[in-house]
Structure formats: C-alpha cells, structure tokens
Amino acid sequence: MAGKDMTVPCEDGLINLRVGAIILKNSKILMVGNDRSEYLYSVGGRIKFGETSEEAILREVFEETGIKMEVDRLGFIHENYFWGDAESNHGKLIYEVSYFYYMRVPENFEPLCMSMTEDNHEEFLRWIDVNDPIKYYPEFFRTELLHPENRVKHFVTDER
C-alpha cells in the first residue's frame, strides 16, 4: 500500500520524486492546467512512498483522466532544479527527479479530469499541438516528441 508523496525536506529546499505521462493522440499531447498557473504540465504527480515509478504513473493517469491505461515504455528521466510557486513551497529551491512514460492510449480514449492541485485548485485537461506557443513543461517535449526515439533520454534543467 502506498504512503505519503515523496517530497522530502533537504536543507532549506525540497526533493520531489515524480512521474509524468506522455499521452499522444492524433498528433496532440494531453496536458494539465489549473486556474492558478500560467502554464500547462504533464499528466502525472508525485510518487508515493512504497510505489515504483510505473505503479505511480498508472495511478496518476487513472486519477487525472478516469481511464486505466498501460505503460508503453519509459521515455525520459528529468532532473530539475527550480523555485517553488505553489502556496506550500513558494520560494523554496526544489530538486525534482521525474520519470516520463509513454502510455498506450486506447482508441476510444475520452479523458475526464477529476483532479485538484496540492493547494486545492481545480485542474483541467487540454490537448495541445507540440508546437503550440503556450508555455508548458517539460520544455523538452517541444523537440523530443516530434521525433521520438526508442531509448530513454536524460535531461537536466537548472533554474538556480
């Protein structure tokens, strides 16, 4: 049974372990937004203690879309240093390691968003073109999803 989110205090900052889903259909990717944020982000969330990253992505995809999906393969590992912008972590340095999985998208996939942010803002789902000028994270999706490779790629982002 899974426990608490894997967010761990470290010095004055936090360490997060997270998963993200790559859900592609008709040359579009499914992303998430909320009324507080100026950007979109991948379907997914934090790994809970006791889960593997694969178990976490299956749970998160179901929680955020209402659909049980299968993992196709691990696509990216992303190490990211950034400054928190949520009410709970505002101004704190966060080191986040994310595992991004390509999902097997059912032919009749029609997602329903039923999720909230950690600070209780309602989330919404949105299909976007990879080239859409809207701000979204992770930014490497813009180039990498145009020419997917059948290997795991590693990215490091550092906003310090």
Mind listing the pLDDT tens digit of every residue in the chain (160 residues)? 568 999 999 999 999 999 999 999 988 999 999 887 889 999 999 999 999 999 999 999 999 999 999 999 999 999 999 999 877 888 899 999 999 999 999 988 888 766 555 656 678 899 999 989 999 999 999 999 998 899 999 999 999 9
Q: According to the model, what pLDDT value does residue 112 have?
A: 74
pLDDT of residue 123: 83
The pLDDT value given to residue 36: 78
Query: Could you tell me the pTM of the whole model?
Result: 0.92
Burial bucket for residue 4 (CB in 10 Å: 0-12, 13-18, 19+): exposed
How many degrees, rounded to 5, is the angle at CA 9 between CA 18 and CA 56? 20
- Residues contacting residue 10 through CB under 8 Å, at least 6 positions apart: 95
Instruction: List domains and CATH numbers for the chain.
Output: 7-158 (3.90.79.10)
Cβ–Cβ under 8 Å, residues 39 and 136? yes
C-alpha span between 135 and 59 (Å, rounded): 26
pLDDT at 5: 94
Q: Which residues contact 103 (CB under 8 A, 6 or more apart)?
A: 21, 22, 23, 57, 61, 69, 70, 71, 72
**123 neighbors 115 (Cβ within 8 angstroms):** yes
CA dihedral for 34, 66, 129, 80, sign (positive or negative): positive
What is the per-residue pLDDT for 144? 95
